[in-house]
């Protein structure tokens, strides 16, 4: 019972609530799949899937810009029969898809989602770290998890007892080994500068100096390429290249077992983009503003946040009005249905814009909490801490969504590499660049006088 | 108390997986059990207050080296389930030898005074080596452990050499084509 009484109840509530962040990668799948499909459509100058709809009585059809299509696909995968071909290794065949998907829930534990929450509760100063596990070996833990998740693909390929899956698994394992090395080495430069494996420390170093991408531009590109390769996405998807290997290691899988691989891949993208945003783009830190400044002007910060959101909503409305004007001018038969749908979005958009503006003005005028400085640390109320955490979280999400887009962008831009080209790139080019970068960084850091 | 429960759970998993390495027919199952064993060892490292070592164990051993091992196993005879018999005539000599060795080592370890102190585990190389080899200071426990490890590694090396020699000596008729 000592361990429970050692902290106040609010600390326990927040600590337990933080476990909700484990589900962020899974939620990102909901975002990434439509983003991938419509993004691919955008790249190839077509619409992308947008025809599925939900029929609402007395109103009409709702398509949610093609989002309903993804719901249909999900439902289809979910209700399909689980099927194992004859001759497979039953146990491993069923266990394999669960491995990468289980890692998905573990990996978010070490990412700092917001800066350490410091606030006053009663007469005590409470400090809560932004990650679920505030470990001193955070980055390494993440690397370990991602290397273990590759075993899912290997087991799947081996258990399926088919040549194609087997070759896919072999390629996955060799690619994971090669690109893990590059990933780790290109990471070392920024770790050297920050002087810590702890992700929160790395972010706070970036907050007080420069972003990792400025300090380590070469390492950033090495890391980006290596992590794209590690997720096994095009142009590095030799493990599931359909002209050679049907579908690689998950050829024999169907229904939700295939779905688990699919979701594991997307969640891996999500985690890697969070990692890149954390290591090289300042993580949760707001550009040009330190956390202390933000907390001192909490009302203003919230007002600016509401302003940005309202601007986004207005941009969305602008897009809608332009679409409707174009659509009215055409002779398409279904244009009235679509216009009816757009009317709903317009109403929602205007309500959101007005609410956001009102919230922003209220925050600006009426919310000016006092701050105290205890031992050089700004200590505010719980509301200030939660507000800061919220802003931090949103900033991190924006950064990571940008990198998710980079993944999709790369996939639909570059053609697939040949297997030997991938190995050549990994071992002979990126590894050496990362090594040289590490040496140069170490020498410069030493000459400039340590951290 | 909580730490003890964790330790027992992890130790049982580690030992069970290690036994599975011995008993599994196919090398890939052996490799998988070895991974489980290593991950639970990493948990034990974290438990005794050196999470860095634990994470490196996961990264290097469970991640990289076992990945390499599975790769090699799959390249060599992955598609073919090898049904080698678990015991043959050589076992008559090997099993008693292993049992005698295990008994000897167990006897030595039980007799050795091992005072487990978590604070001696953290710290510099000098501190670690002093607690390992300075028999006058910490008693012969750790030193004995070190020697036993050496013996274990030696026997593993001998076994590896033996296996490699057997493969070299046999007729090269290994048909790696799958027949499933």
State the average pLDDT for chain B. Answer: 75
Q: Is the peptide bond before A290 cis (omega within 30 degrees of 0)?
A: no
**In this predicted structure, what is the pLDDT of residue B116?**
56
The reported pLDDT for the residue numbered B174 is 47
Compute how many other C-beta atoms are within 10 angstroms of the C-beta atom of residue A239: 26
pLDDT tens-digit profile of B18-75? 988 888 877 788 888 998 999 898 888 888 777 788 888 888 888 888 888 888 877 7
Radius of gyration for the alpha carbons in chain B, expressed in angstroms and rounded: 20
Asked if A417 and A238 count as a contact pair (C-beta separation under 8 A), the reply is: yes
Q: How far is B79 from chain A (nearest CA, A)?
A: 7
CA atoms within 13 A on the CB side of A385: 22
Nearest chain B Cα to A160, which residue?
A: B79
Structure confidence by residue, pLDDT tens digits, B87-112: 777 778 888 888 888 888 788 777 76
Place of tokens 């979280």: A393
Considering the domain A291-378, what is its CATH architecture?
Orthogonal Bundle (1.10)
The HSE-up count of residue A127 (CA atoms within 13 Å, CB side) is 7
- pLDDT of B84: 62
CB A100 within 8 A of CB A261: yes
| Buried residues in B26-59 as b, exposed as e (16+ CB within 10 A) | bbbbbbbbbbbbbbbbbbbbbbeebbebbbbbbb
- A168 close to A239: Cβ distance less than 8 angstroms: yes
Interface of B with A (CB under 8 A): 28, 32, 35, 39, 51-52, 55-56, 58-59, 62-64, 67-68, 70-71, 74-75, 78-79, 178, 180
ipTM exceeding 0.95, yes/no: no
pLDDT at residue B141, rounded to an integer: 67
Whether A144 and B68 lie within 8 Å, measured CB to CB: no
Specify the 3-state DSSP secondary structure of A62: strand
**Is the C-alpha dihedral spanning B154, B158, B159, B160 positive or negative?**
positive
- In terms of Cα–Cα distance, which of A24, A77, A86, A442 is closest to A270? A24
Res B171 pLDDT > 60: no
Of A136, A147, A173, the CB nearest to B59: A147
pLDDT at site B13: 93
B67 interaction partners in chain A (CB closer than 8 Å)? 147, 150-151, 154, 173, 176-177
pLDDT digits 0-9 by tens, A271-322:
999 999 998 888 888 887 777 777 777 778 888 888 888 999 999 999 888 8
* B63 to A148: CB separation less than 8 angstroms, yes or no: yes
Read off the pTM. 0.83
Output phi, psi for A118, to 5 deg: -120, 120
Cα(A77)–Cα(A206) distance, rounded to whole angstroms?
43
What tens digit of pLDDT does each residue of A188-246 get? 888 888 888 888 888 888 888 888 888 888 989 999 999 988 888 878 887 777 777 77
Please tell me the predicted confidence (pLDDT) of residue A450. 54
Distances from the Cα of A111 to the Cα of A197, A210, B4, B11, angstroms: 12, 20, 29, 29
pLDDT of residue B178: 45
User: Does residue B14 register a pLDDT over 60?
Assistant: yes
pLDDT of residue B180: 44
Q: Determine the longest span between alpha carbons in chain A, in angstroms.
A: 73
Phi, psi of A55 (to 5 degrees): -95, 125
CA distances from B177 to A76, A166, A279, B30 (A): 38, 13, 47, 22
Q: Are strands A372-374 and A377-379 parallel, antiparallel or unpaired?
A: antiparallel
Q: Which residue of B has its CA nearest to A153?
A: B67
Cβ(A393)–Cβ(A114) under 8 Å?
Answer: yes
Amino acid A206: pLDDT: 86
Rounded Cα gap, residues A253 and A262, in angstroms: 11
Question: Which position has the token pair 């830190």?
Answer: A285
Task: Find out whether A412 and A44 touch, Cβ atoms under 8 Å.
Answer: yes
Task: Write out A137-161 in H/E/C secondary structure.
Answer: CHHHHHHHHHHHHHHHHHHHHHHCC
Q: CA-to-CA distance for A169 and A157, rounded, in angstroms?
A: 5
Per-residue pLDDT, A301: 81
For chain B, list the domains and their CATH numbers. Answer: 1-82 (1.20.120.1200), 87-170 (no CATH)
Do B70 and A137 make contact, defined as CB atoms within 8 angstroms? no
Q: Quote the CA–CA distance of A388 and B38 in Å, as a whole number.
A: 40
Is B71 close to A174, i.e. CB distance below 8 A?
Answer: yes
Residue B177 binned pLDDT confidence (cut-offs 50, 70, 90): very low
Name the residue facing B75 among A140, A163, A170 (closest C-beta). A170
Nearest-neighbour CA in chain A from B68: distance (Å): 7
Locate A223 and state its tokens.
Answer: 């890391």
- Contact, B58 vs B66, CB < 8 A? no
Which chain A residues are closer than 8 Å to B63 by Cβ? 143-144, 147-148, 180
Q: Do A87 and B180 touch (CB under 8 A)?
A: yes
How close B125 gets to chain A, by Cα (Å)? 20
Q: What's the per-residue H, E or C state across A260-308?
A: HHHHHHHHHHHHHHHHHHHHHCCCCCCCCCCHHHHHHCHHHHHHHHHHH
Res A281: pLDDT = 87
What is the reported pLDDT for A127? 80
Mean pLDDT (whole number) for B134-143: 68
Chain B interface disruption, residue of A109, A110, A158, A171, most B CBs within 10 A: A158
Ranges in chain A, pLDDT < 50: 451
Residues of A with CB under 8 A from a CB of B: 87, 135-137, 140-141, 143-145, 147-148, 150-151, 154-155, 158, 161, 163, 166, 169-170, 173-174, 176-177, 180, 184, 197
Q: What pLDDT is attached to residue A238?
A: 78
The encoded tokens of residue A16 equal 């337990």
Check pLDDT > 90 for residue B12: yes
Helix A255-280 × helix A138-159 angle, to 10°? 160
A441 forms beta bridges with none
Q: Please tell me the distance in Å from A242's CA to the nearest CA on chain B.
A: 21
Nearest CA in chain A to B53: A137
Cα angle for residues B128, B134, B138 (degrees, 5° grid): 85
Domain ranges (residues) in chain A: 2-48+80-285+381-447, 291-378
- Angstrom distance (rounded) from CA A280 to CA A251: 36
Query: What tokens were used for A216?
Result: 């380590």
Mutate to test the interface with A, among B34, B71, B72 (most CBs of A within 10 A): B71
């Amino acid at each position: 019972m000592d361990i429970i009484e050692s902290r106040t109840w609010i600390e326990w509530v927040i600590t337990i609530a933080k476990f909700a962040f484990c589900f962020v990668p899974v939620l990102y799948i909901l975002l990434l799949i439509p983003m991938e499909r419509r993004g691919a459509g955008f790249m190839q100058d077509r619409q992308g899937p947008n025809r599925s709809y939900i029929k609402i009585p007395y109103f009409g059809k709702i398509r949610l810009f093609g989002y309903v299509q993804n719901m249909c696909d999900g439902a289809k995968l979910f209700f399909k029969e689980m099927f194992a071909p004859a001759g497979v290794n039953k146990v491993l065949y069923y266990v394999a898809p669960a491995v990468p998907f289980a890692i998905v829930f573990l990996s978010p534990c070490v990412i700092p989602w917001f800066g350490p929450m410091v606030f006053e509760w009663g007469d005590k100063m409470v400090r809560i770290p932004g990650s679920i596990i505030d470990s001193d070996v955070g980055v390494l833990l993440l690397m370990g998890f991602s290397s273990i998740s590759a075993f899912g693909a290997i087991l799947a390929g081996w258990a399926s007892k088919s040549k194609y899956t087997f070759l896919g698994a072999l390629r996955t394992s060799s690619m994971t080994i090669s690109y893990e090395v590059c990933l780790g080495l290109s990471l070392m430069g920024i770790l050297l500068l920050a002087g810590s494996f702890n992700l929160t420390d790395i972010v706070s170093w970036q907050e007080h100096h420069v972003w990792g991408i400025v300090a380590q531009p070469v390492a950033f590109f090495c890391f980006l390429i290596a992590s794209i390769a590690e997720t096994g996405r095009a142009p590095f998807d030799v493990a599931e290249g359909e002209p050679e290997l049907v579908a690689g290691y998950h050829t024999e899988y169907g229904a939700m077992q295939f779905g688990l691989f699919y979701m594991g891949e997307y969640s891996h993208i999500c985690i890697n983009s969070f990692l890149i945003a954390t290591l090289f783009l300042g993580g949760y830190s707001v550009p040009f503003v330190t956390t202390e400044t933000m907390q001192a002007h909490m009302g203003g910060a919230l007002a600016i946040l509401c302003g940005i959101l309202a601007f986004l909503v207005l941009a969305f409305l602008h897009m809608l009005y332009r679409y409707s004007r174009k659509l009215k001018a055409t002779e398409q038969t279904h244009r009235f249905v679509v216009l009816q749908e757009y009317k709903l979005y317009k109403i929602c958009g205007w309500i959101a814009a007005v609410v956001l503006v009102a919230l922003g003005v209220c925050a600006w005028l009426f919310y000016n909490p006092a701050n105290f400085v205890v031992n050089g640390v700004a200590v505010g109320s719980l509301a200030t801490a939660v507000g800061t955490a919220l802003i931090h979280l949103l900033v991190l999400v924006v950064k990571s969504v940008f990198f998710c887009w980079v993944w999709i962008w790369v996939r639909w831009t570059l053609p697939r590499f040949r297997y030997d080209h991938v190995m050549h790139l990994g071992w002979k080019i990126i590894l050496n660049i990362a090594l040289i970068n590490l040496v140069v960084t170490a020498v410069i850091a030493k000459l400039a006088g340590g951290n | 108390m909580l730490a003890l429960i964790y330790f027992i759970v992890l130790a049982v998993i580690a030992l069970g997986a290690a036994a599975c390495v011995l008993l599994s027919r196919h090398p890939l199952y052996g490799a998988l059990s070895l991974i489980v064993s290593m991950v639970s060892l990493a948990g034990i490292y974290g438990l005794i207050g050196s999470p860095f070592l634990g994470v490196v164990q996961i990264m290097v051993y469970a991640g990289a080296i076992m990945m390499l091992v599975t790769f090699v196993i799959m390249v060599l005879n992955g598609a073919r389930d090898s049904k080698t018999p678990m015991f043959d005539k050589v076992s008559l000599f090997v099993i008693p030898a292993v049992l005698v060795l295990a008994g000897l080592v167990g006897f030595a370890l039980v007799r050795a005074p091992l005072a487990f102190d978590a604070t001696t585990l953290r710290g510099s190389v000098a501190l670690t080596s002093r607690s390992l080899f300075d028999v006058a200071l910490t008693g012969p426990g750790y030193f004995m452990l070190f020697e036993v490890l050496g013996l274990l590694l030696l026997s593993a090396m001998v076994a590896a050499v033996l296996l490699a020699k057997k493969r070299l000596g046999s007729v090269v008729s290994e048909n790696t084509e799958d027949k499933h």
